[in-house]
């Protein structure tokens, strides 16, 4: 049976060593009116320029801070900050309706009002930042067992299909072809194994489901 085709980003599944995944989330600030939308299950990072320290979606070819992201992200690029984790949703005060809002995503240009409980006009992004977290993601090309080794690393594909504004969820896949050229240890993710999913386990063709984790040195919690 052919693999299913639709991308869904990076869904948390297990933690390294097959220990139970708690799915715990940490809170990070989002600046009002982000230039690019943030979508659930996309990798995210802090901005290294512009609104420095604020959360941004890292699946875009050019991120909010003007630095290259998506399939060209490299942890040795100028002003690059390591990945924060995988974005899982947000809370903010809608700048138009003044209503408290929970959502899978934050749309490009979405303005925030002031939260009178805190006095802040920032949004809150919920991020899985566990460096031991494993994710299931769909490959955009065939993924031979021979490429599932620690010295090869891969990125999310270009953010042209970063997410759907209707559901607020990612449509991204793992970029197999161009990411390997980024150099050993320079891209964000390493492939652990093929996912145990009978409907999506044919890794000889595109769209198989793979288990990945952040590569050592690419995620904030173990970078410094």
**What pLDDT was estimated at residue 197?**
93
- Enumerate the domain spans of the chain: 11-223
**What pLDDT was estimated at residue 81?**
86
Tens digit of each residue's pLDDT, the chain (224 residues): 689 998 999 999 989 887 777 778 999 999 999 999 999 999 999 999 999 999 999 998 889 999 988 888 888 777 788 999 999 999 999 999 999 999 999 999 999 999 999 999 999 999 999 999 999 999 999 999 999 988 888 999 865 556 777 788 999 999 997 665 445 558 899 999 999 999 999 999 999 999 999 988 888 866 54
Q: How many CA atoms lie within 13 Å of 6's alpha carbon, on the beta-carbon side?
A: 6
**What pLDDT was estimated at residue 158?**
67
C-alpha closest to that of 223 among 83, 127, 125 = 83
pTM: 0.93
Q: What is the pLDDT of residues 151-191, one digit of tens each?
A: 888 999 865 556 777 788 999 999 997 665 445 558 899 99
**What pLDDT was estimated at residue 162?**
62
CA distance 69 to 71: 6
CA distance 113 to 130: 30
**What pLDDT was estimated at residue 70?**
86
């Amino acid at each position: 049976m052919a693999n299913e085709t639709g991308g869904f980003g990076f869904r948390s599944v297990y933690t390294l060593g097959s220990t139970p995944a708690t799915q715990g989330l940490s809170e990070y600030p989002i600046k009002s009116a982000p230039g690019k939308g943030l979508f659930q299950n996309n990798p995210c990072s802090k901005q290294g320029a512009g609104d420095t320290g604020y959360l941004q979606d890292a699946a875009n070819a050019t991120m909010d801070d003007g630095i290259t992201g998506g399939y060209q992200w490299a942890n040795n690029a100028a002003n690059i900050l390591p990945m924060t984790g995988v974005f899982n949703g947000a809370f903010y005060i809608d700048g138009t309706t003044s209503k408290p809002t929970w959502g899978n995503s934050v749309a490009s240009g979405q303005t925030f009002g002031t939260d009178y409980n805190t006095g802040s006009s920032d949004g809150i992004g919920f991020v899985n930042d566990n460096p031991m977290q494993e994710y299931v993601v769909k490959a955009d090309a065939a993924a031979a067992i021979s490429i599932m080794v620690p010295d090869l690393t891969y990125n999310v594909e270009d953010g042209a299909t970063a997410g759907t504004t209707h559901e607020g969820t990612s449509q991204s896949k793992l970029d197999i072809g161009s990411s390997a050229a980024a150099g050993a240890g320079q891209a964000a993710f390493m492939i652990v194994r093929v996912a145990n999913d009978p409907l999506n386990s044919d890794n000889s063709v595109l769209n198989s489901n793979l288990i990945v984790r952040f590569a050592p040195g690419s995620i904030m919690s173990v970078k410094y």
